């Protein structure tokens, strides 16, 4: 039985797809009598089965060498494209994380979507995400990774647009889709360009090829830049970061997945293609430069947001920025560990704030306050999530950040300063979030707040437990450096930066004497961060403006030149007919004249050669 499960790994992505199919009778409303809830239960059950399957398979294949599965997809002369799967401990561990978090999010959604009629859609789409992400981590082919990224792009569009009767939801879904498409299209260029160069799309073969590849530096740089573009859009990095903020209009359970796992799919692909990017020093520099700029920029923006979800969405971009830094310097192992600890901590933060947003109606931080005595469990979970996010021993985030810092210190000490700064700002931002929600005076919005349904609280507390145990699990799996081996001179500044962030945050936001909302001396600076560096206006003024004008010009050209030419032919014919009909005068003398004239002309023309002989 156990053997069977580890031999049928390909089933893991299929469970929730089956669940999505089973939810169909409730989605268009064929079954109304039961309400939409059974669709959700079926999907949650399928997700749980996928979770059990991957858990058992993981323990079964623990420390076994990875093995490959291959399904033929396209067989044309000279081109064979296979769907390659690689079953490794890492991939199965990622599957466990994905299915586990998805299961918790679906249980959470049972309470969150109370009285909502979109159950079948929400659950099926969450299932689609799970299936796509499981297939992505198992997939060993760049081509199919690209295909999956595209499917997930569509999934994002659909799940952000769940509540489609709100205009912000519609624009958010549209922007998320289009922004990711920009990245995907450029990534596709790289994917297509890679095959003639390397002869394979298989990640492991690509890594071997990259070791000895002798590429022209320009080609290598262009290739690296195209391969980076997809992850930039997926991970909401500068300059394609706005979609994540707008996607916050979607429902909370989906946000749990999106902010932790879906954005990580981009990082996963980036880690997989890192050997190719490393072929170009410039490409690697771009990766960590973008990561560093995003990490600093978005963590600063997050401090200035008053919307709970937007604070968290910008923190997401910031952490993915740190992942980019790690990938840029080649520390892929540390990047993966950071993705793991980050995913758990961030989903805990989102779950704890989601319950509060659900029954306090508002997402506005300035409307909150004094929730600590009313919602202690959410508060504790928020604290656990925050501590695990930043570098604070002995929580999870500390260990992953220390590993990254270790790799940075040897190669690029300047970036270590960036990580320190980002860590401090993130610590401040999370403390601010906590302070604005849980400390201070009770407001009208929070006066009657109480802990949510047990289905909201249970997944949250389970996740808090897992998050707290992550360092132990990492130690168990030999993923942590030995305590004696940890570079104290790096661990101490990291810890101090977190403490400084938390301390300063507490000083401002846990202190009733500090006036809130905090006003900086310069309103312009405050607005600069609060309005996301004015990037929406920048895009409106440049790209959107240009596209608008170009499409109007092309429309004009199409309408008046191309259409006009054809219409002119038609018009000329009609006009010709209209004017020629006046030849039909009805007067026999005119007809006689025409006949005689034409005969005369005909005779003249035929006899013209003879005149020259005269």
Partner 1 sequence: MQLEYFLLLAAALFCIGIYGLINSRNAVRVLMSIELLLNAVNLNLMAFSNYLDADAKGQVFSVFVITIAAAEAAVGLAIVLAIYRNRDTIDMEQFNLLKW
- How far apart are CB 595 and partner 1 at their closest, in Å? 10
Binding positions for partner 1, rule: CB under 8 A = 581-582, 584-589, 592-593, 596
- How far apart are CB 593 and partner 1 at their closest, in Å? 5
- How far apart are CB 603 and partner 1 at their closest, in Å? 13
By C-beta, is 70 or 585 nearer to partner 1? 585
By C-beta, is 571 or 593 nearer to partner 1? 593
Length of the chain counted residue by residue: 614
Contacts of 458 (CB under 8 A, 6+ apart): 107
For residue 67, cis peptide bond before it (omega within 30 degrees of 0)? no
- How far apart are CB 585 and partner 1 at their closest, in Å? 5
By C-beta, is 196 or 586 nearer to partner 1? 586
By C-beta, is 78 or 586 nearer to partner 1? 586
CB of 325 within 8 A of CB of 272?
no
- How far apart are CB 579 and partner 1 at their closest, in Å? 11
Rounded to 5 degrees, φ, ψ at 68 are -110, 145
Enumerate the β-bridge partners of residue 84: 70
- How far apart are CB 602 and partner 1 at their closest, in Å? 16
- How far apart are CB 592 and partner 1 at their closest, in Å? 6
By C-beta, is 557 or 596 nearer to partner 1? 596
CB of 354 within 8 A of CB of 476?
no
CB of 327 within 8 A of CB of 274?
yes
* Vertex 39 angle, CA 34 and 40, to 5°: 115
How many of the other CB atoms lie within 10 Å of CB of 613?
5
By C-beta, is 592 or 601 nearer to partner 1? 592
Q: In whole angstroms, give the CA distance from residue 19 to residue 125.
A: 10
By C-beta, is 167 or 613 nearer to partner 1? 613
- How far apart are CB 572 and partner 1 at their closest, in Å? 19
By C-beta, is 4 or 582 nearer to partner 1? 582
Closest C-alpha to 132, from 144, 116, 118, 114:
144
Buried b (16+ CB within 10 A) or exposed e, 370-394: bbbebbebbbbbbbbbbbbbbbbbe
Q: In whole angstroms, give the CA distance from residue 447 to residue 113.
A: 23
- Report how far Cα 529 is from the mean position of its chain's Cα atoms: 22
By C-beta, is 557 or 600 nearer to partner 1? 600
Buried b (16+ CB within 10 A) or exposed e, 572-610: eeeeeeeeeeeeeeeeeeeeeeeeeeeeeeeeeeeeeee
By C-beta, is 545 or 593 nearer to partner 1? 593
By C-beta, is 28 or 577 nearer to partner 1? 577
CB of 382 within 8 A of CB of 434?
yes
DSSP 75-116: EETTEEEEEEEEE-HHHHHHHHHHHHHHHHHHHHHHHHTTT-
By C-beta, is 79 or 580 nearer to partner 1? 580
- How far apart are CB 599 and partner 1 at their closest, in Å? 11
Q: What spatial distance separates the first Cα and last Cα of the chain, rounded to whole Å? A: 114
Q: In whole angstroms, give the CA distance from residue 600 to residue 384.
A: 108
- How far apart are CB 575 and partner 1 at their closest, in Å? 15
Closest C-alpha to 316, from 286, 288, 289, 339:
339
Q: In whole angstroms, give the CA distance from residue 344 to residue 326.
A: 19
- How far apart are CB 609 and partner 1 at their closest, in Å? 21
Buried b (16+ CB within 10 A) or exposed e, 453-487: eeebbebbbebbebbbebbeebeeeebbeeeeebe
- How far apart are CB 596 and partner 1 at their closest, in Å? 6
By C-beta, is 476 or 594 nearer to partner 1? 594
- How far apart are CB 584 and partner 1 at their closest, in Å? 5
CB of 176 within 8 A of CB of 156?
yes
């Amino acid at each position: 039985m156990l053997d069977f499960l580890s031999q049928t790994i390909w089933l893991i992505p299929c469970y929730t797809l089956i669940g999505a199919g089973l939810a169909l009778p409730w989605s268009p409303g064929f079954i109304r009598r039961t309400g939409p809830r059974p669709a959700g239960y079926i999907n949650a059950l399928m997700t749980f089965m996928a979770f059990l399957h991957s858990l058992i398979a993981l323990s079964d294949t623990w420390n076994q060498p990875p093995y490959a599965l291959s399904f033929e997809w396209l067989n044309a002369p000279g081109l064979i494209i296979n769907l390659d799967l690689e079953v490794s401990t890492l991939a199965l561990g990622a599957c466990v994380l994905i299915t586990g978090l998805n299961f918790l999010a679906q249980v959470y959604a049972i309470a969150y979507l109370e009285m909502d009629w979109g159950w079948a859609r929400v659950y099926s789409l969450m299932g689609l995400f799970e299936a796509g992400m499981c297939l992505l981590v198992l997939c060993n082919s760049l081509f199919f990774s690209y295909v999956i990224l595209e499917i997930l792009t569509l999934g994002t569009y659909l799940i952000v647009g769940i509540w489609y009767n709100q205009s912000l939801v519609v624009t958010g879904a549209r922007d998320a889709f289009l922004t990711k498409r920009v990245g995907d299209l450029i990534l596709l260029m790289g994917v297509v360009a890679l095959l003639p160069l390397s002869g394979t799309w298989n990640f492991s073969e690509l890594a071997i090829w990259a070791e000895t590849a002798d590429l022209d530096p320009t080609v290598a740089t262009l290739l690296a830049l195209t391969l980076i573009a997809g992850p930039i859009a997926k991970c909401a990095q500068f300059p394609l970061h706005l979609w994540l903020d707008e996607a916050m209009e979607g429902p909370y359970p989906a946000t749990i997945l999106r902010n932790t796992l879906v954005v990580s799919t981009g990082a996963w692909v980036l880690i997989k293609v890192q050997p190719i990017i490393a072929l170009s020093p410039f490409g690697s520099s771009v990766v960590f430069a973008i990561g560093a700029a995003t990490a600093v920029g978005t963590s600063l923006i997050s401090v200035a947001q008053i919307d709970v979800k937007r604070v968290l969405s910008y923190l997401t971009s910031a952490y993915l920025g740190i992942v980019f830094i790690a990938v840029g310097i080649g520390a892929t192992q540390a990047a993966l560990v950071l993705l793991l600890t980050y995913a758990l901590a961030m989903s805990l933060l989102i779950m704890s704030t989601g319950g509060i947003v659900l029954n306090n109606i508002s997402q506005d931080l300035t409307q909150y306050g004094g929730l600590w005595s009313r919602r202690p469990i959410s508060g504790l979970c928020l604290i656990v999530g925050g501590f695990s996010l930043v570098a604070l021993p002995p929580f999870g985030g500390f260990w992953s950040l220390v590993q990254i810092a270790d790799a940075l210190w040897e190669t690029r000490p300047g970036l270590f300063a960036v990580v320190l700064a980002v860590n401090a700002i993130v610590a401040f931002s999370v403390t601010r979030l906590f302070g604005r929600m849980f400390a201070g005076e009770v407001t009208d919005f929070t006066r009657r707040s109480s802990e949510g349904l047990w289905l909201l609280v249970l997944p949250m507390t389970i996740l808090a437990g897992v998050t707290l145990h992550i360092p132990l699990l990492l130690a168990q799996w030999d993923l942590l450096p030995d305590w004696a081996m940890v570079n104290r001179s790096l661990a101490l500044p990291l810890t101090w930066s977190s403490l400084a962030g938390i301390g300063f945050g507490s000083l401002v936001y846990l202190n009733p004497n500090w006036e809130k909302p905090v006003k900086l001396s310069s309103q312009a600076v405050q607005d600069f961060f609060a309005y996301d560096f004015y990037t929406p206006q920048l895009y409106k003024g440049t790209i959107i403006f240009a596209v608008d004008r170009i499409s109007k010009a092309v429309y004009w050209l199409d309408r008046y030149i191309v259409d006009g030419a054809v219409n002119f032919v038609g018009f000329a014919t009609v006009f010709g007919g209209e004017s020629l009909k006046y030849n039909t005068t009805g007067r026999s003398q005119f007809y006689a004249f025409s006949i005689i004239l034409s005969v005369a002309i005909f005779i003249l023309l035929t006899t013209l050669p003879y005149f020259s002989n005269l």
